Amino acid sequence: MTITERTDVRPRALQRSAVPARRSGRWRLRRWFAVGGTVTALLLALAILMGGLALDRLTQARGALLDRVAPAQEAGQALSVALLNQETGVRGYDLSARPEFLDPYRGGLADEQEALRTLNGLASTSGLGMLVDDVDRVARAAQAWRSEYAQPAIDAVGSTGAVVDPVRGRQLFVEVRAALAVLAGDLRTEQRAARGRVDDAAAALLGVGVAIAVGLAALLALAAIGLRRGVLRPVSRLAGEVREVVSGEVTRPVQAEGPGEITELGEDVEAMRLHILRELARAQEVNRRLDEQTRELERSNRDLEQFAYLASHDLQEPLRKVSSFCQLLQRRYGGQLDERADQYIEFAVDGASRMQRLINDLLAFSRVGRSTAGFVPVELAAVAGAAAAQLEAARAEVDGELVIGALPTVPGDPALLRQLFVNLVGNGWKFHRAGVAPVVEVTAAAVDEGWEVAVTDNGIGIEPEYGDKVFVIFQRPHGREVYPGTGIGLALAKKIVEFHRGRIWLDPAPGGPGTTVRFTLPTATPEEAP
């Protein structure tokens, strides 16, 4: 059975729906933006136009008033004064016959010409056309007075005999005055009209201003409302739903309403959510499969161990028969048969008992890991002491010395750890050098993962080339005749150490002759015993 593992989990590309995001009747933000911008620009242009027109009207009206009507009125006034001066001058000259009294007449004449010029100039421009007749009348009336009365009157002074009719003169001047009055009246009317036009234009400009202000306010209000409805609300609603997904509610679908971009965003988020869901489901599926495979493996392991246990156990029984009855045979008929028979029986008995020891060791080997009890804190000092007691007979037999250093407390199985020490220390008694009293030393040191224990003896040692092979079951570097043993001791030790999640190895560089076996016992407690 192979375990498939996904070492590289990368999300597949998001799949968006094939249908485009347009919701019927809803405009995209872009279009709103374009339309709004265009409308605003148009309104702005309109406002500028209208404002410009109103301003222009006002300017024109003001211009008419200031630049035409007022000067015209001034000129009218000047004309009136000029003519009066002329009359005064003539009269004075007429009375005094002194030439200096003619100065006003001459001055007035000049002024009159200038005023007439001005008035005609102004009257010729559009808007004051009606004054042309008035000015003309004044000019003609003045000319008539001058030609019929004033000039002759002047000429008549100093020369006797000439007579001018003052009544006629006065009549003529009255006409002049009347013409002047008409002119002034018309000018006044014109002034009032121009003033009226200025006021109207100003009112129009104010109206345009107010309209622009109102329109701007309305536009801003519309924009604000539109933004809120079209963007802010959908976005915050979408954000709310996204936040829900982020906080763990992966199963609620994400919907977004609003303009096209928002709905598209919503659909993207929804696609992402579905993707997350799929990945989650896939990861859960992978986990489930891994769990399943792990359970399968565990089941298989248990079956194997159970098989080994049962096999060893069921092999014991017939073996016991063979061994016991061979021994019985030995006892009862030992001396009665010939020597050859005795030898046969001897070998049979020996073979049987060796097989029994092998099966016992196998049984012990298979039993490691079958215990269902969890790890408990085990005082290694106590365990080592128990092992030493168990091996007391063997120790005494070889006159051995056991030195146990300070040992820690570790989590583990007490029975198995005792068996471990029995095996390792027992090896020290078993594989001693001939003639050398064996010394076995047990020490412990703290390491990263927990504790490292060393069991050192001064015995015959193990050839470096055997290295790890000694930990393989039934590998025995020495002949059976030299040293007894089934070859399972170190293999069992290895299995026990690995059951405790540690490592075991031969120290490659021992101080002197002999063997040093090192093993680690982690202190990080596993959740449960394997």
Partner 1 sequence: MTAPEVRTINVLLVEDDPGDVLMTREAFDEYLHNHLDVVTDGADALAYLRRQEPYVDAPRPDLILLDLNLPRRDGREVLSEVKDDPALRHIPVIVLTTSQAEEDVLRSYQLHANAYVTKPVDFEGFIEAIKQIDHFFVSVVQLPSGPTA
Stretch that binds partner 1, among 36-44, 87-95, 147-155, 316-324 (CB under 8 A): 316-324
| 191 vs 360, beta carbon nearer partner 1 | 360
DSSP assignments along 418-465, one per residue: HHHHHHHHHHHHHTPPTTS--EEEEEEEE-SSEEEEEEEE-SS---TT
| 317 vs 339, beta carbon nearer partner 1 | 317
- 480 Cβ partners below 8 Å, 6+ apart? none
Task: Dihedral sign for Cα 466, 469, 471, 474, please.
Answer: negative
Stretch that binds partner 1, among 230-238, 258-266, 323-331, 435-443 (CB under 8 A): 323-331
Q: Which of 316, 390, 443, 523 binds partner 1 (CB under 8 A)?
A: 316
Q: Which residues of 67-87 are buried (b: 16+ CB within 10 A; e: fewer)?
A: ebbeebbebbebbbebbbbbb
Q: Which residues of 254-269 are buried (b: 16+ CB within 10 A; e: fewer)?
A: bebebbbbbbbbbbeb
Residue 261-300 contact track with partner 1, rule CB under 8 A, x = bound: ----------------------------------------
Cα-only R_g, the chain: 66
- Minimum separation from the CB atom of position 332 to partner 1 (A): 8
| 59 vs 324, beta carbon nearer partner 1 | 324
Q: Is-contact 93 101, C-beta < 8 A?
A: yes
- Minimum separation from the CB atom of position 323 to partner 1 (A): 5
Name residue 379's beta-bridge partners: 409
Angle, vertex CA 363, rays to CA 360 and CA 367, nearest 5: 140
- Minimum separation from the CB atom of position 415 to partner 1 (A): 10
Q: Should residue 409 be labelled a site residue for partner 1 when binding is judged by CB under 8 A?
A: no
Q: Should residue 302 be labelled a site residue for partner 1 when binding is judged by CB under 8 A?
A: no
- Rounded Cα distance between 409 and 163, Å, is 162
- Minimum separation from the CB atom of position 356 to partner 1 (A): 5
Q: Should residue 483 be labelled a site residue for partner 1 when binding is judged by CB under 8 A?
A: no
Closest residue by Cα to residue 54 from 216, 200, 267: 200
Stretch that binds partner 1, among 52-60, 208-216, 327-335, 477-485 (CB under 8 A): 327-335
Q: Is-contact 511 530, C-beta < 8 A?
A: no
Stretch that binds partner 1, among 75-83, 194-202, 203-211, 319-327 (CB under 8 A): 319-327
- 243 Cβ partners below 8 Å, 6+ apart? none
- Minimum separation from the CB atom of position 384 to partner 1 (A): 23
Q: Which of 317, 338, 465, 528 binds partner 1 (CB under 8 A)?
A: 317
| 369 vs 385, beta carbon nearer partner 1 | 369
- Minimum separation from the CB atom of position 365 to partner 1 (A): 15
- Minimum separation from the CB atom of position 387 to partner 1 (A): 20
Q: Should residue 43 be labelled a site residue for partner 1 when binding is judged by CB under 8 A?
A: no
| 128 vs 359, beta carbon nearer partner 1 | 359
Angle, vertex CA 492, rays to CA 491 and CA 493, nearest 5: 90
- Rounded Cα distance between 453 and 420, Å, is 12
Stretch that binds partner 1, among 133-141, 275-283, 318-326, 451-459 (CB under 8 A): 318-326
Q: Which of 60, 77, 327, 443 binds partner 1 (CB under 8 A)?
A: 327
Counting residues that bind partner 1 (by CB under 8 A) gives 14
- 34 Cβ partners below 8 Å, 6+ apart? none
- Rounded Cα distance between 506 and 425, Å, is 14
Q: Which of 143, 171, 356, 523 binds partner 1 (CB under 8 A)?
A: 356
- Minimum separation from the CB atom of position 460 to partner 1 (A): 29
Q: Is-contact 173 147, C-beta < 8 A?
A: no
Chain centroid offset of residue 264 CA: 19
Q: Should residue 319 be labelled a site residue for partner 1 when binding is judged by CB under 8 A?
A: yes
Q: Should residue 324 be labelled a site residue for partner 1 when binding is judged by CB under 8 A?
A: yes
Stretch that binds partner 1, among 122-130, 226-234, 299-307, 314-322 (CB under 8 A): 314-322
Q: Should residue 323 be labelled a site residue for partner 1 when binding is judged by CB under 8 A?
A: yes
Q: Should residue 321 be labelled a site residue for partner 1 when binding is judged by CB under 8 A?
A: yes
Q: Is 194 helix (H, G, I), strand (E, B) or coil?
A: helix
| 88 vs 353, beta carbon nearer partner 1 | 353
DSSP assignments along 318-358, one per residue: HHHHHHHHHHHHHHHHTTTS-HHHHHHHHHHHHHHHHHHHH
Locate 2 and state its tokens: 């192979």
Q: Which of 229, 320, 469, 480 binds partner 1 (CB under 8 A)?
A: 320
Element containing residue 518 per DSSP (H, E): strand 515-522
Q: Should residue 353 be labelled a site residue for partner 1 when binding is judged by CB under 8 A?
A: yes
Stretch that binds partner 1, among 30-38, 64-72, 207-215, 326-334 (CB under 8 A): 326-334
In the complex, the residues that contact partner 1 under the rule CB under 8 A are: 316-317, 319-321, 323-325, 327-328, 331, 353, 356, 360
